[in-house]
Amino acid sequence: MSRLKVLLALIGALGVALAGLPANAMTIERIVSPAGIEAWLVRESAVPLIALNYAFTGGSSEDPADKTGLANLAASLLDEGAGELDAKAFHERMENRAIELGFNVGRDNFHGTMRVLNEHRDEAFELLRLALSAPRFDADAVERVRGQVLSGLRRETSSPNSIASRRWWETAFAGHPYGRQTNGTLETVPRITVDDLKTFPKRVFAREGLKIAIVGDIDAKTAGVLIDRAFASLPAKGDLKPPQPVIPRGLGRRIVVDVDVPQAVVTFGAPGIARSDPDFMAAYIVNHILGGGSFSSRLYREVREKRGLAYSVSDNLIWFRQSAVFIGGTATRADRTGEALAIIEQEIKRMAESGPTEEEVAKAKSYLKGSYALGLDTSGKIASQLVQMQIDNLGIDYVQRRSAMIDAVTLADTRRVAKRLFDGGLLVTVAGRPKGLASQGQ
């Protein structure tokens, strides 16, 4: 069996071990490395595996307006050679030790992951150090990966899902970094130079604002030493240009983009509620009832089950440092797009006017409390959750407090917040050729 298969098998075994534990039984330790870097640690000795997740402040919102996609391209190249190792040598080192390194970009943060067997942890943290502090950005690797990104962007130009989504974000956040897509455009990605790529890590990869979570068979002292190996050599502060606060615009508008496809894709949304807002938990429950609960939601029942207008329909709450949105979508036949959209708008209006029922709230609370552990059944999921908890400033005891926070939401809270969340109208984008449905409010 290859080393990678062994690692994957152990990840699965750790998932089984963790799945048997209730979420509130998990012990999270706050540790501080010798260099003063804070991290959250969950010890799990059942399997000799370490999972590391981390996040730097600064994501695609740091991209220059004429070079969007810079952060994404840099993330795609960090394991394509670092220090004295070219791309081939770097990948061979990872493969020989079954080390998994991953890098991805959000609008506000640059995220990284690592999975490694305990016996190879020293080499894994050394490779991570090199990737973060000494990436090579060799010309051949840059052009190869750039070509892959551009190929994906070309495919998106004919994808109704991508078109509807891009148009929604561009309209809601016109002129703001949140309106740009993380992977850039066919015009901006070719403008990115090697010097741009080399500058990005120097500006963003800093200890200030760094969030770290480690899960696995490791003690606090050893974890602190390894954290310093990977991160202590980074500068104390970055050179960031944080985005300004912004409220999504375009409410009341419908934008139809002509795309020659048999189905039409609909994206709809409006301003959301910040994660730090005292009303967030009530909004979370209300959104679950409306469209976040998949098979149990009002939108699914009205659009899919009763009328068969779409295979799926859902919505989510998404929050950033400087804004928040409620956004959803569906896909349906071109000749029934207008009917599906009318039902969606009707259900959102009904939720705003009268809110959820007592029974709906009780069921949503039960589900949201009971299902939480499903997001904590592997080391990687736990590490990811712990980093997000740090980003959102939820506190190290959030897992223990969460159920009580849900229980504390009253029916009156949900009805008040439903009106606050859904009473302002929608921005709707449609990609396809929906019959009888035209742009409005331009």
- Are the CB atoms for 351 and 418 separated by under 8 Å? yes
pLDDT digits (tens, 9 = 90+) for 348-377: 999 999 999 999 999 999 999 999 988 898
Task: State which H helix or E strand residue 196 sits in.
Answer: helix 194-204
Residue range 254-432 in CATH 3.30.830.10: yes
Where, residue-wise, is CATH 3.30.830.10 in the chain? 3-231, 254-432
pLDDT band at 346, cuts 50/70/90? very high
Mean pLDDT of 82-99: 96
Percent of the chain scoring above 90 in pLDDT: 90
Does the pLDDT of residue 380 top 80, yes or no? Answer: yes
Comparing C-alpha atoms, which of 189, 105, 104 is closest to residue 148? 189
Does the pLDDT of residue 52 top 90, yes or no? Answer: yes
pLDDT digits (tens, 9 = 90+) for 276-311: 999 999 999 999 999 986 688 999 999 999 999 999
Does the pLDDT of residue 2 top 60, yes or no? Answer: no
The predicted pLDDT at position 46 comes to 85
List of residues 6+ apart from 295 with CB closer than 8 A: none
Class of domain 3-231: alpha beta
Q: What is the pTM of this model?
A: 0.92
Where do the H-state alpha helices sit in 355-439? Answer: 358-370, 379-391, 398-407, 411-422
Distances (CA, A) of 54 to 104, 147, 231, 258, 383: 11, 28, 10, 41, 8
pLDDT band at 211, cuts 50/70/90? very high
